[in-house]
């Protein structure tokens, strides 16, 4: 299997398909590059070199105890892109991965001239947790509860979380296979990484990263996202970027699945061509 080694010695797994301008995909928590299997094929079929990696601690990457924070995730993404010597990159990030690609682009990719465009879907920026500066955010108790459930019985928690993740509890058609695959990917994360990543995605403030972006960004999100509330995410992020396009999907959940996936992928390919 293909791996790159980060500057701090962690092995990061990646997979790629196709050839052409590179599209690099960053997955959400607690998933892996497997979450992008449909996009890997669709985007490769459309003429792009499509690459997805497993975040440290997730999937087939090294099971890490340290470095499970957004700054390190962004450095790991930089290591993947530099190891593969990618240029004119289109970055796509879902959920936690949206924060990862925004931070990478703002702090690494633009300065190196490697990034052409950024796309986020259901992404955590600008900031999820409630603070004095972010009074509309979710209370810290929400994230403490997530950590407690991960620590207590992560296997059952992934099963329970799949319901709201894909919107099955709101009547969306979600197969048992999709729910099972969410559970499968969640069980590949080592506990320390899953636990620490909650702080990374909820308490990292991406406000200055969004303001610093000079490349075009497509900010996509479903308006029935039960995991990352759209009012705290896409609707705030679009006001902070210089060259942004907002796309809201009526009734769509957090997880990229079903008709939402079909529409999002088509819109991504169309927007890239603009």
The residues annotated as belonging to the active site are: 95, 225, 254
Contact residues for 111 (Cβ-Cβ < 8 A; gap 6+): none
Q: Quick one: which of 203, 216, 209, 219 has its CA closest to 103?
A: 209
Taken as a whole, the chain contains a residue count of 274
Q: Detail the DSSP E strand segments found in 75-162.
A: 89-94, 115-121
Rounded to whole angstroms, the Cα distance separating 50 from 39 reads 8
Torsion of CA 177, 181, 184, 185, to 10 degrees: 180
Q: Is residue 51 within 8 Å of 23, Cβ to Cβ?
A: yes
DSSP secondary-structure letter at 85? T
Distance CA 143, CA 138 (A): 8
């Amino acid at each position: 299997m293909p791996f790159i080694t980060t500057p701090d010695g962690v092995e990061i797994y990646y997979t790629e398909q196709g050839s052409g301008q590179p599209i690099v995909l960053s997955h959400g928590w607690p998933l892996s590059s497997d979450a992008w299997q449909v996009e890997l094929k669709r985007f490769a079929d459309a003429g792009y070199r499509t690459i997805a990696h497993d975040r440290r601690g997730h999937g087939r990457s090294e099971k890490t105890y340290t470095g499970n924070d957004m700054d390190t995730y962004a450095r790991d993404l930089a290591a993947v892109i530099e190891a593969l010597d990618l240029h004119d990159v289109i970055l796509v990030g879902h959920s936690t991965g949206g924060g990862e690609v925004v931070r990478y682009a703002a702090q690494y990719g633009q300065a190196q001239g490697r990034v052409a465009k950024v796309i986020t879907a259901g992404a955590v920026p600008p900031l999820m947790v409630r603070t004095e500066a972010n009074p509309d955010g979710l209370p810290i108790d929400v994230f403490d509860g997530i950590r407690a459930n991960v620590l207590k019985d992560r296997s059952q928690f992934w099963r329970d979380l799949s319901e709201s993740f894909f919107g099955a509890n709101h009547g969306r058609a979600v197969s048992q296979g999709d729910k099972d695959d969410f559970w499968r990917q969640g069980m590949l994360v080592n506990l320390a990484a899953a636990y620490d990543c909650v702080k990374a995605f909820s308490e990292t403030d991406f406000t200055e990263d969004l303001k610093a972006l000079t490349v075009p960004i497509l900010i996509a999100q479903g308006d029935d996202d039960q995991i990352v509330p759209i009012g705290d995410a896409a609707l705030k992020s679009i006001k902070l970027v210089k060259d942004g396009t907002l796309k809201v999907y009526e009734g769509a959940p957090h997880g990229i699945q079903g008709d939402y996936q079909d529409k999002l992928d088509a819109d991504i390919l169309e927007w890239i061509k603009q």
